[in-house]
Structure 1
Amino acid sequence: MSTIRRLYSCLCEDIPGRAAPPPLPVGQVVELARYPVKSMGGERLTRARFTADGVAGDRGWAVYTADGGIGSGKTTRRFRRIDGLLTLRARLETPEDGEVPLVVLPDGREHRADDPAAGQVLSTLLDRSLHLRRQSSVPHHDEAPVHLVTTAAVRKLEQLLGEGVDVARFRANIVLETEGADFIEDDWHGRHLTIGDQVELCLGPGMPRCVMVGMPQPRDGLGADAQLLKLLGHAHQVRFGLQAGVVRGGTVQRGDLAVLF
């Protein structure tokens, strides 16, 4: 098992004493997304290939600072906050492609991530020494290989906030259309979810949120939101959506049924 997979293996451990419940259809896939370069804008997909490491090509590359930190919206032991990354977008050539992404600049120019010129352009644009690198032994994902959000939780958040919330703020890989308006996924921790006829996920705890959810995302037409993170802290322990690991890989398409068991 790779170092990265060991880091996330706890997501797929069964919770002791929990009896196996009957299968329960809970929703349908309405959005699929991947972000080929961490903390840049990404791409919406009609289908996505899931492997043990998550969605193929998702966060496979990142911008690195001179001290080896991974470019992000926050600063931690692994990450370094780099303002301006969300003005950029990364894309792969095909939905199945997990190779080298193209970085799309605000003026529309594109550079392959493995081209040294890309790092030079980013260094000039963002006014610090930067380079692009493929993931190695240090994972680019914050908490888990897969991130899932339900529309029921989005509607609950909208009720609490008193206005609409664009699900794009949460940069999830999977959005499930579900009934009601509540944080229904809170009860899913420790269970498994099949999506379509191929993919099986193990569901972990809630996803911790950071300042990223309130940052402007020009590529998705989103401005700054100063209230969202505060509300999540007050109402839901600064968590939204679920972490997940991949038990069985395969392809997921929009419209696929999700069954909880």
Structure 2
Amino acid sequence: MKIVEIRRYPVKSLLGEVLPAAAVGARGLDGDRLWAVRDADGKLGSGKSTRRFRRMPGLFAMRATAAAGAPVVELPDGRRFAADDPAGHRAVSAVLGRDVTLAPEADVPHHDEGPVSIVTTAALRHLTGLGGGEPGGGPLDPGRFRANLLLDVPGTGFPEDGWHGRLLRAGPQVVLRVIRPLTRCVMVDMAQDGACDRDDLLKLLAARHGMTFGVLAAVQRPGRVTVGDGCALD
């Protein structure tokens, strides 16, 4: 078992970046979902509407990359703004068709449920076999799940279902504790980063796996992870 992909999303619910390595601290990957698009009433931009979040179509048209001070947001027309630049706030508002600002995390974490999200290649293969492959053929795109770590695990099925409460050693430094399955929402069906729009994947997960896919983990020991690092369960 090893790490084959590391993803970070500097601004929650925008497209993010694929990394060769990342530092992992108590709140997860450094800089992951540290900023968010904030509506006038304080709700955070998302693909869903809840007590904390507001659905804002257009978020996946923008990409955020980490930078010193504040992330850089790239708009659909290629313009780039620092997340703390008021001109950028106005530009993002124009894309979304509503008045918003970009704000760093305060007292309440921006994460939906937990610090580090994990999916496995085994589960991706299994879900593809159940009919969850990409429309037109091809394996399921792991980017739909916006997980921090993609682990290469032999075989098929949902091996992570048996990891709850266990320690996961990721590379020579980081130790994670798997805490629960990751409940999915309509965002898995939305067009993003090359994956096309669809309307069946969440329904498939609801019917075959309790609407969950992947797991969440807390950080027991911080450190650094790198693509290719071996992983082991205790």
Coarse TM-score class (shorter-chain normalised): over 0.9
CA RMSD of aligned residues (A): 0.9
**What are the residue-to-residue correspondences of 1:1-261 with 2, within 5 Å?**
27-93=1-67, 99-161=69-131, 163=133, 164-217=139-192, 220-261=193-234
Would the alpha carbon gap of residues 126 and 142 (structure 1) be closer, same or farther in structure 2, given more than 3 Å must change?
Answer: same
Over residues 132-175 of structure 1, what are the superposed CA-to-partner deviations in whole Å (9 max), with x where a residue is unaligned?
A: 00000121110001100010000000000163210000000000
C-alpha contact (below 8 Å) 2:132/2:204 kept by paired residues: no
Question: Which ranges in structure 1 are unaligned for 5 or more consecutive residues?
Answer: 1-26
CA distance in 2, matches of 1:33, 1:255: 14
Over residues 3-33 of structure 1, what are the superposed CA-to-partner deviations in whole Å (9 max), with x where a residue is unaligned?
A: xxxxxxxxxxxxxxxxxxxxxxxx1000001
Q: In the alignment, residue 98 of structure 2 is paired with which amino acid? A: R
- Partner of 1:233: helix, strand, or coil? helix
C-alpha contact (below 8 Å) 2:132/2:201 kept by paired residues: no
Q: CA deviation at 1:197?
A: 0.7
Over residues 168-207 of structure 1, what are the superposed CA-to-partner deviations in whole Å (9 max), with x where a residue is unaligned?
A: 0000000000010110000000000011110000001110
- Partner of 2:109: helix, strand, or coil? coil
- Partner of 2:12: helix, strand, or coil? coil
Over residues 32-52 of structure 1, what are the superposed CA-to-partner deviations in whole Å (9 max), with x where a residue is unaligned?
A: 010000000000000010000
- Partner of 1:49: helix, strand, or coil? strand
Identity of aligned residues (%): 50
Q: In the alignment, residue 198 of structure 2 is paired with which amino acid? A: D
Would the alpha carbon gap of residues 173 and 162 (structure 1) be closer, same or farther in structure 2, given more than 3 Å must change?
Answer: closer
Q: In the alignment, residue 108 of structure 1 is paired with which amino acid? A: G
CA distance in 1, matches of 2:152, 2:200: 24
Q: CA deviation at 1:244?
A: 0.6
Q: In the alignment, residue 38 of structure 2 is paired with which amino acid? A: Y
- Partner of 2:11: helix, strand, or coil? coil
Question: Which ranges in structure 2 are unaligned for 5 or more consecutive residues?
Answer: 134-138
CA distance in 2, matches of 1:214, 1:241: 16
CA distance in 2, matches of 1:129, 1:168: 28
Q: What's the TM-score once normalised by structure 2's chain length? A: 0.96
Q: CA deviation at 1:223?
A: 1.0
Q: What's the TM-score once normalised by structure 1's chain length? A: 0.86
Runs of 4+ in 1 over 4 A off after TM superposition: none
- Partner of 1:118: helix, strand, or coil? helix
Q: CA deviation at 1:127?
A: 0.8
Q: In the alignment, residue 143 of structure 1 is paired with which amino acid? A: E
- Partner of 1:140: helix, strand, or coil? coil
CA distance in 1, matches of 2:66, 2:11: 10
